[in-house]
Structure 1
Amino acid sequence: MSAGVRPPETCEPRTREIVVEEVLPHPPALVWKALTEAGLIARWLMPNDFEAVVGRRFTFRTRPMGDWDGVVHCEVLEVVPDERLVYSWVGGSATNGRYGSRLDSVVTWTLAAVEGGTRLRLVHAGFRSPGNDFAFDAMSGGWARVMAAIARTIAEVAGD
């Protein structure tokens, strides 16, 4: 081995996750509805063809960027009504060095009834550093804005 070259096991990129948590003044069933109905999801995130069925493949669609077609390919991995929703999140292009870079990750939504409503926790895991650093930085703030949009959507549905 050449001097200055680290063995492959120490060259592994590290992974990071985005965590956003909010207490919403609504029951878990209403929060769950906002997370699992395609029309409501489109209001707070992107157009989609989501169904809360394990194994269901679906897509989110956004503005294309570079060689990326703007499609996020997903698959529902876990569904526990009113408690937990997990899906894969794969998109981007290997030729996009910044926004739109290849991302293979997992989104987990956890709901817990608390006094005054529901604690909604999002964990978006699998950002590989340094390759996904731009996406991580952009989506960190983005998911916080999405959480606020979910709250607004639920308030509209609830008639608040």
Structure 2
Amino acid sequence: METDRNTRTVMKERELRHAPEKVWRALTQKHLMEEWLMKSDFKPEVGHRFDLEADWGKVSCQVLAVESHKTLSYSWVAHGLESVVTWTLTETAIGTHLKMEQSGFGPGQDQAYHGATAGWEKFLDKLDEVIADLDEEGER
């Protein structure tokens, strides 16, 4: 998936009061992902193809990069949009700085871009709730 200067990126950042291990668990464990994102058959393995399913449709994805507790990247293909979602976790004094980038919004994809901008805010709010509900070991 090529990106060029004509594409846009949605970027969201959060300061979370949780250790990177807990954040990572919520980003990569299928049953937790389903609580804040969508139903999926995700596995944190490079090359793994998976689908995210919601009432509005399906997103086809493939894991592109995994660096445990630090970086996760996967393709995100839906409704004519071919993009890449990248999560970056950085440990901080209070927990984790989480950055999410979805890159690849081309000219004429304003609706998808604005939808993603609003949608990721809601997903991240829910992600924070899911992480907060985990105990210190990251279990329910």
TM-based fold match above 0.5: yes
Q: How does 1:1-160 map to 2 (within 5 A)?
A: 14-64=6-56, 70-92=57-79, 102-130=80-108, 132-158=109-135
CA RMSD after TM alignment:
1.4
Percent identity, please: 38
Unmatched 5+ stretches in structure 2: none
CA apart distance, 1:157 = 1.3
Kindly provide the amino acid, as one letter, of the partner of residue 32 in structure 2: L
Kindly provide the amino acid, as one letter, of the partner of residue 42 in structure 2: F
Other structure's SS at 1:129 match: coil
Other structure's SS at 1:41 match: helix
Task: Give the ranges of 4+ consecutive aligned residues of structure 1 lying more than 4 Å apart after TM superposition.
Answer: none
CA apart distance, 1:13 = 8.6
Q: Per-residue displacement from partner, 1:21-44 (whole Å, max 9, x unpaired)?
A: 001101000000000001100100
Instruction: Provide the rounded CA distance (Å) in 2 between the counterparts of 1:158 and 1:31.
Output: 12
Instruction: Provide the rounded CA distance (Å) in 2 between the counterparts of 1:79 and 1:142.
Output: 23
Structure with max Cα Rg:
1
Q: Per-residue displacement from partner, 1:73-104 (whole Å, max 9, x unpaired)?
A: 00000000000000000011xxxxxxxxx100
Q: Match of 1:95? A: none
TM-score by length of 1: 0.80
Unmatched 5+ stretches in structure 1: 1-11, 65-69, 93-101
Instruction: Provide the rounded CA distance (Å) in 2 between the counterparts of 1:71 and 1:19.
Output: 22
CA contact (8 A) 1:78 1:85 kept: yes
CA contact (8 A) 1:13 1:129 kept: no
TM-score by length of 2: 0.91
Q: Per-residue displacement from partner, 1:135-160 (whole Å, max 9, x unpaired)?
A: 1101101101111111000001137x
